[in-house]
């Protein structure tokens, strides 16, 4: 019978801990980036748990844990007698070892086979792992309500603290949640949580772990909750975007990997608010139901991302996934190509009606200005002049210029390309403008500063996967002048934040898409406004609603210094000794590559650090 019951037990997984890889996202300042849904914090070692938390859990869950061998016959007998006296099940006899088995290794079926498995595994775990390891695994894997799995996550969600910072009443409250986390969840049932905490403190007194006076003092100073879950939407689009990359960084290493991202919470909150307020105020009258905003440093570190009006209503990320016609924001590439062909901003181009195989683009308003300088044509966003310029320099060169600045979307080699009829996404377009600001191309949007695997002493820098290879210094001054002119005297005057600013407006055909993309000294940002069903808006242009959203974001963002989010992270963490780890290059080069410590196994000798 025992052979039959035990033949499918996953012994190897149980011995290894079966710790699924857990990625813990942090913002640029090291604060947890809480996401919607279940949350698991970093895996904590036994020594990281405060003693009063350990004693609280033992006192309420398994007083004889350190003495029994996985099955507590005395506890089972005591529970059975009390249940008989009460006429119902009022007390269980499961040990912490048995509870860990139920949490991680076995299903909840109440069959004879499962009971045999639980019995044997409990004895085996006690022999194989020992008390401390069993207790540690249990504390890291127990569900504690409000989406928190493990004590570290619960400490963060309920008290906004690291696990080692918990005081006695806080520790007692978390210990009390183990039996019925949904029933005593302090966010939804504060009175119930307080009563349960009192029970735990009394149990600690009865178990001789604290004095009666200590318990009374703890009851009187019951901690005020500081839950973080009511605001999980901060950075949700960003978290969705960066999670696949963070998972690649973490690899398949068991346990938790803390990944510090480039998101700046203050800027994220500003971005979400200005988008929401603008749509609430003007969206209905403008016929605009959605907007997106992405902000980054000139080096491409994404510091804020808003993918739509309301993350709860729609998780579709319009800043990353949506492909839309960029309109006149695409003209940057036309004029860059012209400069590369040897033209200057004072050279003239004819702004007049043009017909190309039956296609006749018109300027906004229908007026034409005749011969104008390239600078004026760009600042006034003259369509006819831009098309004529693109024809003069060649569409192949326009496409090459866009590719050079980082646009890798499909670009149709047709005359209308010059006016932005080939679809792009907001993130890539904003990064292209960042290339102009930086003076190097292409700037690759990136979102991970560094990472550290649980139990590993080293912090590894990540940063962008590649560095800009093209020097734009020959053309940067002219391009900056064009973009600055748009804000000072052109179509982008509505974006003027009162300080240095440069950018470009864009409006697609029939006002289906409206854009403003540009930069100030510390930040590059792009804004898109439109509708998911591609419905035309009520005359909305890039110089109107998008420009105002951009201006409002920049004015508030620049009110305080912007954190210097660099690939090295030194300005934020002071960890100048952090090593660089090119996850992508290393994983492609070595099948034995292990992200947790950035090492690979050579044909002979010990594992080596990957230095690609």
Query: Pairing mode, if any, of strands 290-296 and 524-530?
Result: antiparallel
DSSP 256-277: EEEEEES--HHHHHHHHHHHHH
* 3-class DSSP assignment, residue 312: coil
Distance, first Cα to last Cα, the chain: 55
Question: Does 577 have pLDDT greater than 60?
Answer: no
Residue pLDDT, tens place only, 124-143: 667 767 888 888 888 988 88
- Token digits of residue 362: 């018109």
The proportion of the chain whose per-residue pLDDT surpasses 90, expressed as a percent, equals: 52
Look at residue 92 in the predicted model and tell me its pLDDT: 46
As beta bridge partners, residue 530 has: 290, 513
pLDDT band at 20 (very low <50, low <70, confident <90, very high): low
CA 571: distance to chain centroid?
Answer: 20
Cα–Cα distance, 229 to 165 (Å, whole number): 19
- Sign of the four-CA dihedral 413, 418, 421, 424: positive
Higher pLDDT, 95 or 538: 538
The pLDDT of residue 561: 87
CB contact at 8 A, 267 and 562? yes
Mean pLDDT value across the chain: 84
Domain 42-220 has CATH 1.10.3810.10: yes
pLDDT at 62 over 90: no
Residues in the chain: 612
Q: How confident is the model at residue 573 (pLDDT cuts 50, 70, 90)?
A: very low
- The least confident of 100-104, 411-415, 505-509, 570-574 is 570-574
Domain boundaries, the chain: 42-220, 327-422
The residue with greater pLDDT, 141 or 278, is 278
Which 3-state string (H, E, C) describes 436-462? HHHCEECCCCECEEEEEECCCCCCEEC
232: confidence class by pLDDT, cuts 50, 70, 90: very low
CATH topology of domain 327-422: Beta-lactamase (3.40.710)
Question: Quick check: do 42-220 and 327-422 share a fold?
Answer: no
- What pLDDT does 82 receive? 54
Compute the half-sphere exposure of residue 435: CA atoms within 13 Å on the CB side of its CA. 29
CA atoms within 13 A on the CB side of 391: 15
Work out the pLDDT band at 493, boundaries 50, 70, 90.
very high
Res. 465: pLDDT tops 90: no
Q: Looking at residues 46-59, what average pLDDT do you find?
A: 94
Q: What is the mean pLDDT of residues 79-99?
A: 55
- What residues have CB less than 8 Å from 412, skipping those under 6 apart? 421, 422
The confidence score (pLDDT) of residue 223 equals: 60
For residue range 329-385, what is the model confidence (pLDDT) as tens digits?
Answer: 999 999 999 999 999 999 999 999 999 998 999 988 789 999 999 999 999 999 999
The torsion angles phi and psi of 385, rounded to 5 degrees, stand at -65, -40
The model's pLDDT over 146-201, given as tens digits with 9 standing for 90+, comes to 777 889 988 988 888 889 999 999 999 999 998 888 788 888 788 888 889 999 99
The percent of residues in the chain predicted with pLDDT above 70, rounded, is: 82
Question: Would you say 355 and 462 are in contact if contact means Cβ atoms under 8 Å apart?
Answer: no
Q: State residue 325's pLDDT score.
A: 97
Give the pLDDT band of residue 494 (cuts 50, 70, 90): very high
Strand arrangement, sheet containing 290-296: 302-306, 290-296, 524-530, 513-519, 502-507
Buried residues in 163-195 as b, exposed as e (16+ CB within 10 A): beebebbbbbbbbbbbeebeebbbeeeeeebbe
Confidence at 277, pLDDT banded by 50, 70, 90: very high
Tokens of 31: 């604060």
What pLDDT, in 10s, does the model give residues 307-322? 999 988 898 999 999 9
pLDDT tier, 18 (very low <50, low <70, confident <90, very high otherwise): very low
Q: How confident is the model at residue 254 (pLDDT cuts 50, 70, 90)?
A: low
Angle between the 168-177 and 151-159 helix axes, to the nearest 10 degrees?
Answer: 120
pLDDT at 280: 96
Per-residue confidence band for 42, with pLDDT thresholds at 50, 70 and 90: confident
| Residue entry with tokens 């016959």 | 73
Q: Pairing state of beta strands 579-580 and 460-461? A: parallel
pLDDT at 38: 54
Beta strand residue intervals within 66-201, DSSP E: 148-149
pLDDT at 165: 93
Consecutive H or E run containing 123: helix 112-128
């Amino acid at each position: 019978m025992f052979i039959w019951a035990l033949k499918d037990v996953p012994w190897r997984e149980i011995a290894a801990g079966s710790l699924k890889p857990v990625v813990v996202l942090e913002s640029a300042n090291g604060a947890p980036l809480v996401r919607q849904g279940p949350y698991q914090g970093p895996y904590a070692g036994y020594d990281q748990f405060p003693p009063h938390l350990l004693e609280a859990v033992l006192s309420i869950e398994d007083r004889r844990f350190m003495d029994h061998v996985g099955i507590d016959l005395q506890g089972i007998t005591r529970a059975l007698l009390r249940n008989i006296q009460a006429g119902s099940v009022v007390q269980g006899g499961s040990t912490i070892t048995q509870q860990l088995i139920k949490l991680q290794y076995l299903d909840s079926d109440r069959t004879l086979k499962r009971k045999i498995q639980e019995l044997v595994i409990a004895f085996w775990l006690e022999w194989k792992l020992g008390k401390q390891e069993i207790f540690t695994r249990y504390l890291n894997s127990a569900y504690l309500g409000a989406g928190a799995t493990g004590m570290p996550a619960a400490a963060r969600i309920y008290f906004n603290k690291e696990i080692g910072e918990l005081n006695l009443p806080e520790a007692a409250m978390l210990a009390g949640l183990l039996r019925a986390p949904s029933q005593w969840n302090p966010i939804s049932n504060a009175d119930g949580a307080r009563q349960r905490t009192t029970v735990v403190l009394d149990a600690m007194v009865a178990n001789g772990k604290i004095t009666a006076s200590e318990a009374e003092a703890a009851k009187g100073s019951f901690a005020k909750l500081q839950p973080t879950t009511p605001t999980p939407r901060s950075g949700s689009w960003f978290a969705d975007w960066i999670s696949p990359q963070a998972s690649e960084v973490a690899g398949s290493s068991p346990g938790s990997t803390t990944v510090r991202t480039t998101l700046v919470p203050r800027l994220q909150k500003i971005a979400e608010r200005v988008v929401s307020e603008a749509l609430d105020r003007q969206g209905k009258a403008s016929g605009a139901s959605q907007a997106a905003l992405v902000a980054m440093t000139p080096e491409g570190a994404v510091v804020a991302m808003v993918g739509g009006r309301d993350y709860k209503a729609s998780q579709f990320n319009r800043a990353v996934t949506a492909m839309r016609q960029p309109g006149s924001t695409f003209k940057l590439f036309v004029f860059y190509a012209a400069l590369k062909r040897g033209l200057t901003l004072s050279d003239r181009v004819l702004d007049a009606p043009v017909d190309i195989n039956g296609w006749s683009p018109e300027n906004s308003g229908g007026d034409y200005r005749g011969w104008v300088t390239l600078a004026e044509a760009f600042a006034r966003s003259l369509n006819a002049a831009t098309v004529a310029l693109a024809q003069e320099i060649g569409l192949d060169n326009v496409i090459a210029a866009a590719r050079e600045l980082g646009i890798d979307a499909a670009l149709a080699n047709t005359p209308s390309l010059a006016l932005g009829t080939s679809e792009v996404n907001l993130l890539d377009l904003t990064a292209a403008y960042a290339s102009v600001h930086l003076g190097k191309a292409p700037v690759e949007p990136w979102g991970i500063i560094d990472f550290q695997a649980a139990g590993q002493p080293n912090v590894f820098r990540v940063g962008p996967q590649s560095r800009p290879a093209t020097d734009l210094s020959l053309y940067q001054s002219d391009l900056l002048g064009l973009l600055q002119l748009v804000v000072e005297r052109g179509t982008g005057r509505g974006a003027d934040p009162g300080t240095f600013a440069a950018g470009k407006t864009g409006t697609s055909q029939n006002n289906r898409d409206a854009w403003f993309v540009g930069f100030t000294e510390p930040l590059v940002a792009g804004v898109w406004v439109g509708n998911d069903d591609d419905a035309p808006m009520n005359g909305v242009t890039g110089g109107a609603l998008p420009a105002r959203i951009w201006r409002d974001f920049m004015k508030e963002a620049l009110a305080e210094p912007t954190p210097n989010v660099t690939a090295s992270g030194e300005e934020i963490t002071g960890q100048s000794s952090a090593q660089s780890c090119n996850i992508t290059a290393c994983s492609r080069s070595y099948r034995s590559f292990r992200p947790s410590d950035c090492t690979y196994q050579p044909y002979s000798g010990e594992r080596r650090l990957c230095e690609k």
